[in-house]
Structure 1
Amino acid sequence: MSAPEERGALTPRPSLYSYALRLHRAEPEGRFPGKGYELPDPSEPKRQGSRSWAKTRAALTDLLGPLLLAPDPVRATERLQRQLSELTQAVRPGHIHRVVSELVLEDQARARALARCLTRAGSTSEAVCVGLSLLARLGEPEDVPYLRILGQLRVLVGPAVRALDAIDRPAGALVWLGHHAETSALRGLVDALAAGDDAAVRGWLLAVPREPGTVAPETARRIAEAVRAADLLAADGPVDAGLAAQTGWLLFRMTSLRGDWAEILLYPEAVRTYEAVVACAGDLTPTLDHYGILLSAALDLHSGPSRLHAWGPGVCEELLEELDAVLSRPEYRAVLHAEVGDAGDVGDTGSRPGTGPGIGGVAERRRIDWARRAARQPFRRLTEPAGRLRIETVVRDPVEPDTVEVRLLIDGRPLVPEFFGRGAAHPPEWLLDSGRLRATEEPHEVQLAEAHCTEGCCGALHVTIRRDGDEVVWSDWRCPPPPPSSPLHTRELPEYRFDAAAYDAEVTRAESDHSWTWPARRVARLIAVGLRDRPELLSRWDVRLGWAGTDFRDRDRTALSLLYAGEDGSSRHHLWHIPDDGTAPKERAAAVLHRLATVDPRTYGS
């Protein structure tokens, strides 16, 4: 099994490796196939038995254990393929990976020999999956060419990428992108990477579109891994401002919490890449797009999930100081004070026009307003002593659908992304306006975050807050285990104790800080406060407030979720939109409360 071209001879069927290699060689210029290849002879699906996961795991463990110690990997492979085919329960790649990851490998050399025989000569997807899962633990550089070929089979992409990630992350990212790249720019980038054409890689990287929804957070991470972003920026020669801006934008996408966890936590090169982007920051032209990219990087270095990486002492603070110095330059301050249309092309990346998040008066105005509000947030505490608890309400750049979260940092580490891998922390209306974080003599439980799919599906993060003399205690945590593919590890959250005076002061400061809000959101907060003070405004109509906020598609429009029972007793939901009529937030909120007091909200139009 020494040559990549070697054909398996364990069974009359060809090995999956030789099959995939033949298809790959037929591709023009060795390109990766979009969406991958189908299996050569898809067998009928196994009948689904009633075996539980515990029984399936036990059966696989019993089957694999002796074979890992077998002296002859060829015979062990034949036996494993036969026994897997005799299982009455279909075994998914994820099941195999979980079982193999838990196995004790007493003889790694024999286990590695079996893994290589399975991947290079195995003729069934289940047997090859076992080999790939073993190589995720034992693989070496010589295995990479085989894994790249096997990863072009659609059913094997996940196991192959896992194995490659452990050996050669850029290769794993390339295989992943080969299956998931849909835009022409991403397909061009995959082809250039596969061909080893560095100049074309740079060109296609700059061409990756930045319109909302085109590049998911995981895709952004895989792009950065595949192109070796930190190395690109650190290469000798003049600074490429376009590459620096595009890399900064990839980091911004990786820090999104619209999914279960921040992809930045899965990016081992995060520290080097942030350092490379900041080193180039001073060479970027002062446009609104560049301001947004650099300010977003500062916000994440200040309180976001990137702080969970292994930073050296004071490194984050040094990068923040450098970003502060750049954004404090007169030419960058002028961007914040420019009229709409004069702040630089919203889509300008410093290298080409029309590739940014969109051009238009409304988008540009929103982004300028956000930058003005958030401009000093990541820098104002650089000289202040950090308390044990820090509470930051952070609004992301509005080029991404609105995300407003309360970031809770304990000893400088963001709590929710470190322990809860299923969603972001709740917004300030839930945690701060309600007074939920206040400590009283009577212990009370607070939900800090909830899974995107609701607590009933995948859980939520809860803590009990109580006052104990001159301390405030966070304890009795309730937290579901992280998802299997999460970068987090299951571990028990500790009890946290805070100085009561410092705790109360920080909570009061956070509750009083409304600098992050914009008019429509301020209207929603004032309405919610008014309804808490006057609950009869809704109760008289047998209506209750679900939530008050801003429209996900139009952040300048206030939205109220109203819940009530229909005539047939079924639950009804009405989303009332309140447009910006040009009046001050207090006046707009007062008008809404007056209407709720005088007109049955069940009769409102949308």
Structure 2
Amino acid sequence: MSDVGAPKASEQVTLLEHVTLLHAAHPDGPLPEGGRPYPDAAQRARLPHSDEPFAVRQRRLIEVVTSIYEAEPSPERAGAMLVAALTSQRAEPRLAGWLAQEVASFDPGWRRRVGRELAYDGGERGMVGVGLALLSGVASPEDTAPVRLLGLLSRDFGQLAIRVLRHVPGAGGDLVWLAERSDPTRHAQAVEALCDLAEPVTHAWLLREGVRLDGPSTAAARRVAETVGLADLLDGEEIPPDVVEQAGRLLLAMTQRGAGSAELRDYTDAASALVRFSRAAARMNATLDRYAMIMALLADLHTGQAATLAWPDRELALVRTALDRLLDQSAWADCLADAARSGNPDTYRRACWATQLRTTLRQTPPVTPSSNDFRARIAIRVSVPDPAHRGTVETRILVNGRHLCAEAFTAGPAEQPENLLGPDHPLHADVEPHEVRLAQTDCTEGCCGALFVTIERRGDEVIWRSWRNPDCPGLDLPTLHFDAAEYDAEVARAEADHSWEWPARTVARLVRARLREQPDLLARWDCAAGWVAAGPPDTSRVEVSYFHPARPRGGDDLWLQFVAVIDLPANDPEDMRDEIVRRITDSDPRRPQWLAGGSAEAAQAYGFDWPPRRS
């Protein structure tokens, strides 16, 4: 048995030695390939693979550890027995994930001694994983240095190492060290652990680096805000400009849905933090990043989660006005004007987005309730995220000035405009009722739900009723009544408004319309159009999907999906549409390089080689 720092008996290179050498060569960032290949690669290649379900293999590992603990109270002999047992089987580190809970009742001293031997002297990954699982909850400060090093082998041991460190008092600095050198997933896990520890010495780092926009750590934005006391940080006269900016980014992250539900409405101090941010924002110097951050917050204050908070009288309007007036100041206006003249396409594109968004917000003030108290008023706004960050284009439906989906459904974004404002006209009201999906989760509605409503026309009214969320059987939302003429006019206006589109999105819409209007273009190749999507705003890429055969006869029929990815130089959108359609339909579009889905059986039946699995 070896304590921390004791020499190992084996001559095999341990994973701790392996990662120590790699870290010396790459001290400041994630290890290349997550530290792979490991020194046990040849040994593991000789072990047989198991086709048993994950749960069966996991239970077997738990039984091995439990039986040795019960049979051998001596840590020295138990360690040797576990080494022998784990060496003879292909134990994967992820199998050890639940082991920490199963061994929680074991003697802490036994777990600590055996865990150290396996984790620090182990040359095989399953052995190290079990060692870290045993150390969870019983590690001491002397364990933090080797544990955080093993955590650099992020794919297999990052989460296990974080689990160990989160239970060690005073390990906040070690978690920060590991987070700074980890991939986005482990960074987010370390941030969650730091929020659990809540050590004041880490608060400045959490505010500055805890949340990375576009990354999984956005899901921790609310917890970070609560841990650092965000609203209190903004309550003062001499707030450093960098703290104001960091606070703004944190508030913005709470409105993002990419890593989970938008959490601003669940943040108790959201309204007061936004009020204080609006007062302190003038302390920042004008930059394009800060301008874009304020614009994104303003958009949310008009049509997003922030607009639905429980605001005191007139407070919401005051916050909007304060931020809007700040952007009117010469330094901020000049900043945007300089960006609009930039030769850098990303900077120019971002300036165009901010200009368009500001114009839209000013031209379309929040809707006020109808003079008829019985009838609601509807407004439809398309929300486009900052092109410098990932995000979803949403169709935000405001009822009496409030974002309906943001209040009724927080598990995912509202539907994209192509789905609600496209040629199928789902928002049109007819005498025959029909159901429309207004929002769904980032995964699928079958997984975590969606928001549906039934729309129908009755005389001079349009009625929204029978709200439904498959993941929330008890959903109870009121029936809404709209004046039919006002409703029809707003839906028609929104369907005709394409000012929010970037060039590739416009081309995608035109391609979609052409293939819809002329189905024979693909039908002559026994294909039928599927979805058409635009690439990110920084590209001219358009992706066109289609299926072969065009009309499968039933659910068990064989089919293949193709996706043509075409990137053209920027040009007139209609000319680009014509070129894309020509490239796809002038010759057989069933091309091997565009094969994207289906099955190996279908590929064989239709004469294609099935794409090999990625290693």
Q: What is the TM-score with the length of structure 2 in the denominator?
A: 0.60
Equivalent position of 1:177 in the other structure: 180
CA distance in 1 between counterparts of 2:274 and 2:48 reads 50
Equivalent position of 1:427 in the other structure: 416
Equivalent position of 1:245 in the other structure: 245
Q: Report sequence identity in percent.
A: 17
Higher relative contact order structure (alpha carbons within 8 Å, sequence separation ≥ 6) = 1
Equivalent position of 2:500 in the other structure: 518
Equivalent position of 1:333 in the other structure: 328
Q: 1:91 aligns to what SS in structure 2?
A: coil
How far did residue 400 of structure 1 move? 2.9
2:466 to 458, 470, 473: 473
Equivalent position of 1:217 in the other structure: 215
Q: For residues 54-89 of structure 1, give each alpha carbon's deviation from its aligned partner in whole angstroms, at most 9, with x where no partner exists.
A: 3212212323445677865555444433332233xx
Equivalent position of 1:93 in the other structure: 93
Contact 1:336 1:372 in 2 (8 A): no
Greater displacement, 402-411 / 282-291:
402-411
Greater displacement, 39-48 / 66-75:
66-75
Equivalent position of 2:597 in the other structure: none
Contact 1:17 1:119 in 2 (8 A): no
How far did residue 507 of structure 1 move? 8.5
Cα RMSD for the two superposed structures: 6.3
Equivalent position of 1:120 in the other structure: 116
User: One-letter code of the match for 1:332?
Assistant: L
CA distance in 2 between counterparts of 1:306 and 1:64 reads 50
Equivalent position of 1:282 in the other structure: 282
CA distance in 1 between counterparts of 2:323 and 2:253 reads 21
Instruction: Return closer, same or farther for 1:261/1:15 CA change in 2, 3 Å cut-off.
Output: farther
Q: For residues 344-388 of structure 1, give each alpha carbon's deviation from its aligned partner in whole angstroms, at most 9, with x where no partner exists.
A: 6549xxxxxx9xx977545433432233324688x9479999x9x
How far did residue 601 of structure 1 move? 8.1
Equivalent position of 2:6 in the other structure: 7
CA distance in 1 between counterparts of 2:390 and 2:6 reads 50
CA distance in 1 between counterparts of 2:307 and 2:254 reads 13
1:497 to 445, 452, 476: 476
Q: Does 1:63 align with 2:64?
A: yes
Equivalent position of 1:150 in the other structure: 150
CA distance in 2 between counterparts of 1:8 and 1:263 reads 50
User: One-letter code of the match for 1:82?
Assistant: A
CA distance in 2 between counterparts of 1:369 and 1:383 reads 26
CA distance in 2 between counterparts of 1:464 and 1:242 reads 42
1:602 to 568, 585, 596: 585
Q: Does 1:132 align with 2:111?
A: no
How far did residue 554 of structure 1 move? 4.8
CA distance in 1 between counterparts of 2:180 and 2:268 reads 18
Instruction: Return closer, same or farther for 1:536/1:54 CA change in 2, 3 Å cut-off.
Output: same
Instruction: Return closer, same or farther for 1:551/1:148 CA change in 2, 3 Å cut-off.
Output: closer
Instruction: Return closer, same or farther for 1:511/1:156 CA change in 2, 3 Å cut-off.
Output: farther
How far did residue 404 of structure 1 move? 0.8
How far did residue 501 of structure 1 move? 2.3
CA distance in 1 between counterparts of 2:409 and 2:560 reads 39
Equivalent position of 1:191 in the other structure: none
Contact 1:395 1:403 in 2 (8 A): yes
How far did residue 178 of structure 1 move? 1.5
Q: 2:383 aligns to what SS in structure 1?
A: strand
Q: For residues 524-567 of structure 1, give each alpha carbon's deviation from its aligned partner in whole angstroms, at most 9, with x where no partner exists.
A: 698589779xx554447738554466553457x79684748799
1:370 to 354, 357, 363: 357
User: One-letter code of the match for 2:43?
Assistant: E
User: One-letter code of the match for 2:327?
Assistant: Y
CA distance in 2 between counterparts of 1:446 and 1:57 reads 40
Instruction: Return closer, same or farther for 1:448/1:502 CA change in 2, 3 Å cut-off.
Output: same
Instruction: Return closer, same or farther for 1:498/1:518 CA change in 2, 3 Å cut-off.
Output: same
Q: Does 1:552 align with 2:544?
A: no
Equivalent position of 1:185 in the other structure: none
For this pair of structures, how many residues does the alignment match?
A: 517
Instruction: Return closer, same or farther for 1:296/1:579 CA change in 2, 3 Å cut-off.
Output: same
How far did residue 48 of structure 1 move? 0.8
How far did residue 398 of structure 1 move? 2.3
CA distance in 1 between counterparts of 2:351 and 2:498 reads 18
Instruction: Return closer, same or farther for 1:336/1:507 CA change in 2, 3 Å cut-off.
Output: farther
CA distance in 2 between counterparts of 1:336 and 1:549 reads 38
CA distance in 2 between counterparts of 1:293 and 1:129 reads 42
Contact 1:288 1:368 in 2 (8 A): no
Q: Does 1:399 align with 2:402?
A: no
2:336 to 337, 340, 343: 343
Contact 1:301 1:307 in 2 (8 A): yes
User: One-letter code of the match for 1:55?
Assistant: V
CA distance in 2 between counterparts of 1:270 and 1:78 reads 54
Equivalent position of 2:409 in the other structure: 415
Equivalent position of 2:556 in the other structure: none
Instruction: Return closer, same or farther for 1:429/1:141 CA change in 2, 3 Å cut-off.
Output: farther
Contiguous gaps of at least 5 residues in structure 2 = 185-200, 398-402, 551-558, 590-615
Instruction: Return closer, same or farther for 1:255/1:572 CA change in 2, 3 Å cut-off.
Output: same
Q: What is the TM-score with the length of structure 1 in the denominator?
A: 0.60
How far did residue 281 of structure 1 move? 1.7
CA distance in 2 between counterparts of 1:576 and 1:22 reads 44
Q: For residues 98-148 of structure 1, give each alpha carbon's deviation from its aligned partner in whole angstroms, at most 9, with x where no partner exists.
A: 4545x484x3xx364454334433233434423434665677877645532
CA distance in 1 between counterparts of 2:263 and 2:12 reads 40
CA distance in 1 between counterparts of 2:513 and 2:293 reads 37
